[in-house]
Amino acid sequence: MHVLVSGGTGFIGKPLVERLLALGHSVTVVSRTPAKVGRMFGDKPAACSIDALPDAFDGVINLAGASLDQRWTSKYKKVLVESRVRATETLRKAAEERGATAFISSSAIGYYGDRGEEACTEDSAPGSDFLADICIQWEAAAASDKLRVALVRTGVVLHHSGGALGAMLPIFKWFLGGRLGSGRQYWSWIHLDDIVRLFIWALENNDVRGPLNGSALNPVTNRKFTKTLAKAVHRPVSLPVPGFALRLLYGEMADMLLNGQKVLPSRTRSLGFSFDYDTLKEALESAIGS
């Protein structure tokens, strides 16, 4: 297939592009800085801007969106929404017009809002906070009667090269890693290798459409996550980080750390996807060492 990948130089996008190429697909990476694609991958994938898309392609994997990992001012909130919604609308319309059949779009488990200990499947209702609202708009922008659309609601992606784990590892190695707030909030996680496989599986299987929870079978509380990570790096658990301190430091962005969702990949599994990493211990050992 000729696959368009937006966000292809990012934390998930880079290994995704590499895996698509290894499987024999033709890849065009959509980037605000196409020259960066050449520096990262060489001449293997093509590169283009979102304003100069190819005349024809078979499918899209859409990972576009500004980073959530900075303070959410009113101005930056608009950036977070528009970077997802506008890019998704542009790519979806182009896919409809240029012969594509599959549109695989990223979303997030933030769709469910803060749900405490309630188990959330793909059939659960959305939440009502800012992150949920982003995801609702993001998914709506991908909706199409002309394409097969799959929506991957991604959990906390584990790998030492980036994401939450990449930020946490140095802190834990310096004996400073502790639970966040009460530690009772659920963190629904997935290994980087599994989320890459999930996006490609959704692209390649014509029966797969609709929402897919991109998180592993065994979500854990932040307290459990902290203990397991500390053990994996052979460090003790340090003092907890109070919720008020996180809110002073990060403002509303602290909601990502202090709120949580216990997400189960019910539909993802029923459609036939199998995870390579089922337990947090094995996922962390691989993600830290790989």
| Edge-to-edge strand ranges of the sheet holding 26-30 | 46-48, 26-30, 2-6, 59-62, 102-108, 148-154, 210-214
Report phi then psi at 186, rounded to 5: -80, 140
Q: Which residue from 55, 76, 60, 58 is spatially nearest to 6, judged by alpha carbons?
A: 60
pLDDT, position 75: 96
Give the residues across from 120 on adjacent strands.
263
Q: Which residues of the chain have pLDDT under 50?
A: none
What is the DSSP pairing of strand 59-62 with strand 262-263? unpaired
SS3 labels along the chain: CEEEEECCCCCCHHHHHHHHHHCCCEEEEECCCHHHHHHHHCCCCEEECCCCCCCCCCEEEECCCCCCCCCCCHHHHHHHHHHHHHHHHHHHHHHHHCCCCEEEEEEEHHHHCCCCCCEECCCCCCCCCHHHHHHHHHHHHHCCCCCEEEEEEECEEECCCCHHHHHHHHHHHCCCCCCECCCCCEECEEEHHHHHHHHHHHHHCCCCCEEEEECCCCCEEHHHHHHHHHHHCCCCCCCCECHHHHHHHHHHHHHHHHCCCEECCHHHHHCCCCCCCCCHHHHHHHHHHC
pLDDT, position 266: 98
State how far the alpha carbon of 100 is from the alpha carbons of 52, 56, 93, 205, in Å.
16, 7, 10, 14
pLDDT, position 121: 98
What is the number of domains present in the chain?
1
Domain residues for the domain of 16 are 2-289
CATH code for the domain of 121:
3.40.50.720
Report the C-alpha gap between 213 and 267 in whole angstroms.
7
pLDDT, position 290: 59
Cβ(22)–Cβ(71) below 8 Å: no
What's CA 261's distance to the chain center, in Å?
14
Q: What is the pLDDT of residues 132-162, one digit of tens each?
A: 999 999 999 999 999 999 999 999 999 999 9
Q: Is the pTM of this model over 0.85?
A: yes
